[in-house]
Chains A and B, each alone.
Chain A
Amino acid sequence: EILLTQSPGTLSLSPRDRATLSCRASQTINNNYLSWFQQKPGQAPKLILYGASTRATGIPDRFSGSGAGTDFTLTISRLEPEDFAVYYCQQFGRSPYTFGQGTKVEI
């Protein structure tokens, strides 16, 4: 099983700050199989990025992704109030498909 470790667990920032979230995999993952999701309380996860760096439909360009192999990064260039949420990385490289434990971005 591929373990995804996200850091930090919690990121305390202010609106207009830059957020950098990390996801480290226990094995190499092809970029095409790495996604990032945003989840707000009581809601389903929302796809933010797929293929490690491709924004999903309707996602603003302040969200960007990078990385390869075992190290991946989600960057939010300038936090808006609606961006405060929990973010998960997820892999389809090898079954069972797994999620990271999440990074909470809080004010």
Chain B
Amino acid sequence: QVRLHQWGTGLLKSSDTLSLSCAVYGGSFSGHYWTWIRQPPGRGLEWIGETNHLGNSDYNPSVKSRVSISLDTSKKEFSLKLTSVTAADTALYFCARRVSAFTGYGPPYYYMDVWGNGTTVAVSS
């Protein structure tokens, strides 16, 4: 059974750099996309971005100029860095695994099946 454990700094000041990490226990590390999602207090979910072991990354334009997601394959960990944070970055941050399930015909299924428990990040001015 695959499990994700995440950690990182929970209290930041404006202009700081947010840094979170997520460790993968069980399952394969390659062959999946590793993803970060966030949820501002009382609001819905926002996809931040993803990357895989081949270095293919994709980011939400809303944060693209400030974000990077990296992998440490040897440790089976991936990390999120978000620079120049403001109060608008205050949220519950989740890491997740995105599966690409090929059926042998037609397009693959894409879905996020395993999630971390979430890390609360608060940015003060």
Contact residues of A with B, CB < 8 Å?
Answer: 30, 32-33, 35, 37, 43-47, 50-51, 54, 56-57, 88, 90, 92, 95-102
Contacts and interface: CB of A to CB of B under 8 A. Distances in A.
Contact of B109 (A43, A45, A51): A51
Contacts, number: 61
Contact of B116 (A44, A57, A95, A96): A44
Contact of A95 (B44, B58, B107, B111): B58
A44 B115 contact: yes
Nearest to B107: A32
B44 A99 contact: yes
Across the A-B interface, give the 5 residue pairs with the lowest CB-CB distance, nearest first: A50-B111, A92-B110, A44-B115, A99-B45, A96-B60
B26 interface: no
B67 to A, nearest CB: 12
B44 A102 contact: yes
Contacts of B98: 92
B111 A47 contact: yes
A88 B113 contact: no
Contacts of B60: 96
A6 to B, nearest CB: 9
A10 to B, nearest CB: 14
A47 B97 CA distance: 11
B45 A88 contact: yes
Contacts of A101: 44
Nearest to A51: B109
B90 to A, nearest CB: 16
